[in-house]
Structure 1
């Protein structure tokens, strides 16, 4: 090997080592300038920190919205056109569908603005600003402040700061705690509630692969939908009105047609829901040994019942489509989470780190006084919770699974008002029930719900310790001989909760006797009363005792590891993660490319399997290679790609942005090998699965014929920035015909020459 060759190879290795290092962290955009900007520039970012987050001038944060409170969306035109996932818009699409106009099955495209469909109850929140209010919240609070006093002061100040920020504006404001209560940030949003459906591909595209491909790579899923946000004449929030105008965002994302290559910079900007990466080993064990298996068991049975009835009727299928998708998503997720924790030996790793923490704390008298017992206190809290964990899981996953039981909880305030005979409270309670009843009856099928009721409560009865059973279970034991099917049949036959007519008749003249004798209300009221009176107080006692210990534990970790920049757990606030487009090797002998193409759709196509049906028009376009301007330089139509961005639930619909601030894709999933991501970040395997922006545009334009929507976007056609390109290019010229494999010790990534990877594809 010549010196020149060795030098060039070393340059390439150094460049690729930087490329291959995954970037853990969901960062607050407010702090990017101080914490992340230099590192982001090294990876290919060409924006200033102010172009990412600025409260005085338009920045990327103005193009990002929280969609419905559970997903993310982004503006892609100056006319308020909003892009998010198909599964994020799923409920809106299903709600507007009928057996005669089945938008889930056939797709929907508004060919003019007047055809766009309103969605009552759907909203988007646009961030105005965020602010570190930690000094204000913790003013005067010291280590000597009694915990009860601290909790009271913190709660009062958080509410006061949110109220002050709201002022006279129509803002949504709140203060959230970070690092287990060590820091506090204020968030101010504008909420827009006129959000209209503009376009959605058929589920055979938007959900291609179904449950089989869910959380898996490789994928060929067009998981996107389009909405438009409307505002009043002053561009401010307003209720739905035909007089409203398309919202004019301060910033919208240009859409990049140049595509992505491995090593390209990628940034995901969105609202990740919840992570628990500071959780201790005992918390992990409780999740993987108790909570997760119970959730998988209950959701599996629930899916079985729903699927049986959905397959028999299109009307039932549309009623339960959104619920089925949601239940199924996390049914598989909890299985994957357990598998990931086991594979990574996460519990063992936590135990090892906790031993180091205790050693560090005990090495200094001051540290020992502050942190010496915190892990023991936390672990005791988990031990105290364990006895009641199944009761908690079965309340949410079983008792509230039947729609009638969940809806019946709305009658608890009415029960109280009837007991106290307060006319104003009775009217207030009945009005609230009427308001909630419309959505309830729209997504409710009596025979299906009865089956769910019988099955879920039977499992609750069998699996939760008898000492924690509600009183209603004794009634079923004695009067119905433990036959939950028999009990459910009588309950659903006699209840006033199965039709609008019966419900309205009751609400016209509500009486305490009729309410308390209704078997469905009687059941959920018994469960609810038992849980709030007997179970939850014990859980809260255990958790309250852990709060201080957890806060101190996290503070100690940050003090112990002064060379590490910490990021807070996700909590549904705006964050960004950054990294690179990147392939991976999930197991020995298997290599996954960083992208998939339309050819994979034809390879998976199966007209006998509903998850892999492909519309004939799409088949024809792919076979003819009629991709137009959306093909890559090899003439392929890219469909999905992967990056090592750190994401979690809530990031669905988040834009994937290149170094120039252009949209290159849409995040929609994580990968099976890193399903433990909410508990621990997997440096080697963590991948974010994204819809390529070119496939989104191809479906809108070539498949749907809705090119007018593409025309209102700002399109850019140039390659995305790649920080490693210049370093690797010179070495590639010398080694292009040489079979080379370089092992990078730190993150175990194998890099191969372009020629070798091409063969694998």
Structure 2
């Protein structure tokens, strides 16, 4: 599952699996290898694609696709009608579905269908954004930090970024302006988005239909998953007019058809240096694997305590299982001698080319050695930074909102008002899981930082992690949306007196912010400086026909519908609905969804269900439209095969595959499994 990376408690950036084959390394990318690349819309290799696939892509085609592409929270999507109808993945909307559910109405298990526009229900906190403008602001951002180091560098850069964003949006709440770092700081681009804050749920199938096969099938193929959902963007209480939309094609593609995926890949690390990769391998990933595994185990045990526990823990477990598999794949790659040797050789070639050019060497110096020095500092700071700041609260919603409120105490009135509106939204909260997460975080912090650590002593006092978590969650009023709104307007002293969780956060936030400040000044700032120099070296040596690492900004990849062969086994590019019934065993996670079981006689089993293509994607691409050469949507990307776990560090055109649910299968489901003539009519399907 190419999980929405920003929604997960820990970012699930896809990477290389231990089972994979050789992965292409971006050593000399004067042109993309195979179908490699998550390209920006202002630097898409039009000529390369047209020559390879015989297409007639032009700037007008790109503009139409860009204006129909949508970024939602942690995922990708697209307009598929002129009335704001949005196609994405089920797993991108399941958080909303769970928030709209309760013990009496379990929409995750049973699915959700809005029979009329009036029955379309707003998803709390969901937004839809369309990229309208791209402007290069590199010179302005880089100039802001010249001659500065550490905290002063960060402050000056951030001030410049804030000023650029403020000027671009000019206070218009309908827009979101974001300066995005590309090529690890080699370029900065201002992206201006048209933003819609009222996004409503239209349709989501049963979880068993969308995630048939569960974790065993995750990152595998063949797949039989209806991982699709529909939202609608509203403004002023009315559906948004969206003349730029992708025409719905209800027919399945054929093998060899060219495909494009437009979406927002979350994060890749293809441009990291060897010293950065080695610290990732030796320190960060082992800790993430251990902690993710343990938290998953605690949640799985909790899910067995009752039906309500199983319902409320479904989405968190779903995310943690996905993250664990991704981290496992990353570790497998970075402990693969052949892969790491290829990375070393690629870096050595670049460094040799730089050393051979006296002018270039004088211009950039030796950023690789600078980054090696930064890794030593990062190793020392990482554990306290992670436990006190980055992963503080262990994913507890109440803790996260409490910290946001505490940190707003000195902010201006406008910012506090915005925060009050955000934290004051009604949202279902499981206090059992809140206590579980807080207890887990406190116990891990004591374990990793040790009992004698001053911050651990300050947090726990004479209490155990279990007793402290129980006292804080039992005593807090933060589960009450009205109280959260009130708290956002309090002084810090009033917060401490009003609520034990707010008091706890306030008492320990100085230490958290101190380590965050050190990380920013001693790790982030010098890393940014050195990474910019590495990027300059790459531009100088290999030219500008390169794609940047993913940054949850809009990208376009190209490829074709194609299976693969691995160790003598050939995997065809398609599955069919009939295969779902053959694969079903009656036992979880291979039991049929109830609607598919009830309507088996009506279903056309010859319809293509899921398919694979050579498109280069990563976490964050979930929900991305798969588009044909005519600019029509033919599927929604929802996963990769096991070999695509190499996507964080490289791309292998022989093995990497994107897994998508076909519009043909979605159409069949809307006809004969979850009959919805209203949506079909809007999609222009008879």
SS in 2 for 1:87: helix
Bigger shift: residues 197-206 or 388-397: 388-397
Specify the alignment match of 2:395 in structure 1.
Answer: 401
Uncovered stretches (5+) of structure 1, i.e. residues with no partner: 1-19, 232-237, 418-423, 717-761
2:28 corresponds to 1:38: no
**Distance verdict in 2 for CA 1:710–1:176, change over 3 Å:** same
8 Å CA contact retained: 2:446, 2:456: no
Specify the alignment match of 1:99 in structure 2.
Answer: 103
Query: How far apart in 2 are the matches of 1:661 and 1:538?
Result: 45
8 Å CA contact retained: 2:165, 2:179: yes
8 Å CA contact retained: 2:251, 2:663: no
8 Å CA contact retained: 1:295, 1:393: no
Q: What are the residue-to-residue correspondences of 1:166-315 with 2, within 5 Å?
A: 166-167=169-170, 169=172, 170-231=174-235, 238=236, 241=237, 244=238, 246-315=239-308
Query: How far apart in 1 are the matches of 2:473 and 2:136?
Result: 52
8 Å CA contact retained: 1:472, 1:523: no
Query: How far apart in 2 are the matches of 1:657 and 1:507?
Result: 45
Specify the alignment match of 1:471 in structure 2.
Answer: 455
**Distance verdict in 2 for CA 1:316–1:434, change over 3 Å:** farther
Query: How far apart in 1 are the matches of 2:486 and 2:164?
Result: 45
**Distance verdict in 2 for CA 1:263–1:393, change over 3 Å:** farther
Query: How far apart in 2 are the matches of 1:109 and 1:461?
Result: 46
8 Å CA contact retained: 1:72, 1:270: yes
Specify the alignment match of 2:548 in structure 1.
Answer: 568
SS in 1 for 2:638: strand
2:592 corresponds to 1:614: yes
Specify the alignment match of 1:64 in structure 2.
Answer: 69
Query: How far apart in 1 are the matches of 2:506 and 2:438?
Result: 14
**Distance verdict in 2 for CA 1:492–1:254, change over 3 Å:** closer
Uncovered stretches (5+) of structure 2, i.e. residues with no partner: 1-31
Deviation at 1:433, TM superposition (A): 5.7
The Cα offsets for residues 526-551 of structure 1, whole Å up to 9 and x where unpaired, read as: 55322322464155313312222111
SS in 1 for 2:42: helix
**Distance verdict in 2 for CA 1:257–1:42, change over 3 Å:** farther
The Cα offsets for residues 629-657 of structure 1, whole Å up to 9 and x where unpaired, read as: xx6xxxx2211111111111221110111
Query: How far apart in 2 are the matches of 1:66 and 1:543?
Result: 27
Deviation at 1:226, TM superposition (A): 0.8
**Distance verdict in 2 for CA 1:535–1:46, change over 3 Å:** closer
**Distance verdict in 2 for CA 1:522–1:351, change over 3 Å:** farther
Deviation at 1:385, TM superposition (A): 0.3
8 Å CA contact retained: 1:109, 1:200: yes
Q: What are the residue-to-residue correspondences of 1:245-394 with 2, within 5 Å?
A: 246-343=239-336, 345-394=338-387
Computing the radius of gyration from Cα coordinates, the structure with the larger value is: 1
- TM-score when normalising by structure 1: 0.78
Counterpart among 98, 104, 129 of residue 125 in structure 1: 129
**Distance verdict in 2 for CA 1:136–1:496, change over 3 Å:** closer
Specify the alignment match of 1:543 in structure 2.
Answer: 524
8 Å CA contact retained: 2:644, 2:658: no
Deviation at 1:398, TM superposition (A): 5.5
Query: How far apart in 2 are the matches of 1:262 and 1:343?
Result: 33
8 Å CA contact retained: 2:602, 2:672: no
Query: How far apart in 2 are the matches of 1:23 and 1:60?
Result: 19
8 Å CA contact retained: 1:361, 1:372: no
Q: How many residues align?
A: 652
Query: How far apart in 2 are the matches of 1:606 and 1:299?
Result: 30
**Distance verdict in 2 for CA 1:433–1:444, change over 3 Å:** farther
8 Å CA contact retained: 2:261, 2:615: yes
Deviation at 1:378, TM superposition (A): 0.9
Bigger shift: residues 398-407 or 300-309: 398-407
Query: How far apart in 2 are the matches of 1:323 and 1:626?
Result: 32
The Cα offsets for residues 223-262 of structure 1, whole Å up to 9 and x where unpaired, read as: 000112223xxxxxx3xx3xx2x32212221222332222
Query: How far apart in 2 are the matches of 1:26 and 1:690?
Result: 17
Query: How far apart in 1 are the matches of 2:171 and 2:409?
Result: 36
Counterpart among 565, 568, 578 of residue 599 in structure 1: 578
Query: How far apart in 2 are the matches of 1:333 and 1:701?
Result: 35
SS in 2 for 1:257: coil
Query: How far apart in 2 are the matches of 1:593 and 1:221?
Result: 16
The Cα offsets for residues 163-184 of structure 1, whole Å up to 9 and x where unpaired, read as: 3332475322222232233322
Deviation at 1:672, TM superposition (A): 2.1
Q: What are the residue-to-residue correspondences of 1:470-489 with 2, within 5 Å?
A: 470-473=454-457, 476=460, 479-480=462-463, 483-489=464-470
Counterpart among 36, 40, 53 of residue 24 in structure 1: 36
SS in 2 for 1:354: helix
- TM-score when normalising by structure 2: 0.86
SS in 1 for 2:129: strand
2:430 corresponds to 1:444: yes
Query: How far apart in 2 are the matches of 1:571 and 1:64?
Result: 16
**Distance verdict in 2 for CA 1:415–1:147, change over 3 Å:** closer
**Distance verdict in 2 for CA 1:407–1:21, change over 3 Å:** closer
8 Å CA contact retained: 1:581, 1:594: yes
Specify the alignment match of 1:739 in structure 2.
Answer: none
Specify the alignment match of 1:458 in structure 2.
Answer: 443
Bigger shift: residues 455-464 or 551-560: 455-464
Specify the alignment match of 1:5 in structure 2.
Answer: none
8 Å CA contact retained: 2:438, 2:469: yes
Query: How far apart in 2 are the matches of 1:657 and 1:508?
Result: 47
Query: How far apart in 2 are the matches of 1:25 and 1:698?
Result: 32
SS in 2 for 1:191: strand
**Distance verdict in 2 for CA 1:154–1:456, change over 3 Å:** closer
Specify the alignment match of 1:699 in structure 2.
Answer: 669
Bigger shift: residues 148-157 or 676-685: 148-157
**Distance verdict in 2 for CA 1:308–1:43, change over 3 Å:** same
Q: What are the residue-to-residue correspondences of 1:355-754 with 2, within 5 Å?
A: 355-395=348-388, 396-397=390-391, 399-413=393-407, 432=419, 436=423, 438-439=425-426, 442-445=428-431, 447-464=432-449, 469-473=453-457, 476=460, 479-480=462-463, 483-497=464-478, 512=493, 515=496, 520-521=501-502, 523-534=504-515, 536-538=517-519, 540-562=521-543, 565-586=545-566, 588-609=567-588, 611-619=589-597, 621-622=599-600, 624=601, 626-627=603-604, 636-714=606-684
**Distance verdict in 2 for CA 1:500–1:153, change over 3 Å:** closer
SS in 1 for 2:440: helix
Query: How far apart in 2 are the matches of 1:322 and 1:593?
Result: 31
SS in 2 for 1:27: coil
Query: How far apart in 2 are the matches of 1:393 and 1:509?
Result: 28
Query: How far apart in 2 are the matches of 1:167 and 1:555?
Result: 32
Query: How far apart in 1 are the matches of 2:365 and 2:139?
Result: 26
Query: How far apart in 1 are the matches of 2:37 and 2:677?
Result: 37
**Higher relative contact order at CA 8 Å, sep ≥6: structure 1 or structure 2?**
2
